[in-house]
Amino acid sequence: MDIDPTQPWGLAIDYAGRATLTESGHTIHVNVSDTSLSSVIGPDSISGTYSAVNVTAQFTETGEGGAVLRGTGRITIMPVGADPVVPDRTAVQRAVAAALTDFATNAAAYVALCAQWQQDDGNGDGDGTTPDPETDPVTDPETDRDTTD
């Protein structure tokens, strides 16, 4: 991701802290927000410190059969002492990288899950939709119940 050096957070965000960008062929939604419950940005009345800021990046991709995979990344920037959080131009870049990594991890897990299931043989009786006992010894195919203790 290219960082825009003219922007405090490395990309142009709207008044609500949102932005959309395209990275590695994905449309990624970014949100920069503080963790306070107040609409006023100021130090906490009890602790005297400012809230941390979260930078999140997330996206979804939809595939065949209604399959949806997500990628999510979050970077939290803590205030230093009693000062407010200073914008970090690399925070969005790191959140996007984390979202892309999360997506790749989820895709690999989905492929592994699908590999455990046999293909339907096409005769209409539903055979081939149970886990292969060779790869999933936990399921007893005779009783279709979990055999773990």
**Which of 93, 94, 27, 102 is closest to 62 using CA atoms?**
27
Express each pLDDT in 20-56 by its tens digit: 999 988 999 999 998 887 777 788 888 888 899 999 9
**Which of 122, 125, 144 is closest to 133 using CA atoms?**
144
**CB distance 147 to 139 below 8 Å:** yes
Instruction: Pick the more confident residue, 109 or 35.
Output: 109
Express each pLDDT in 52-86 by its tens digit: 999 999 999 998 888 899 999 999 999 988 888 99
Average of per-residue pLDDT values in the chain = 83
Percent of the chain with pLDDT over 90: 46
**Which of 120, 80, 75, 107 is closest to 93 using CA atoms?**
75
Among 23-27, 92-96, 126-130, which range has the highest average pLDDT? Answer: 92-96
